Structure 1
């Protein structure tokens, strides 16, 4: 069973908002009844080389930030998501937060 991983607050300090990353939204269901469960936002931080995709539940309204705005994550966790492959399964690790708010 996959468990959530909690990091120290210092891992997610000094984050800047870059924008919405619709290509990485999390969905469930098949084509006929597909539903978006989490919206993805791109953030940049000194500990996140190349940026950080953060997933927020789709029923949460994230404030519209300008690019470069200092933000912080509410209750961030690292979550493992298993997907099937031809030779077994692959674990993708994603960051999920309850919300993104001004720092």
Structure 2
């Protein structure tokens, strides 16, 4: 999944596939729909986790920027530092 999918779109697809699966009598079709719903739920969770991670990085990068006197043109430096700090926190 290269691009981030809209969580609302995924939730609608999950809801729609779940409703369709509840009306299907063929076991094979039901299993395929259920597997697709599971895949969509996993993609949704991954996407939401990625958004939360980006938001934490954004907040930390902003803190670093403010701590260093709000310099112009160093946004990438602070973003990378925030990423590094947060990835270290997760590995501990």
TM-score (norm 1): 0.21
Higher relative contact order (CA 8 A, sep 6+): 1
TM-score by length of 2: 0.22
* Greater share of residues in helix: 2
Rg larger in 1 or in 2? 2
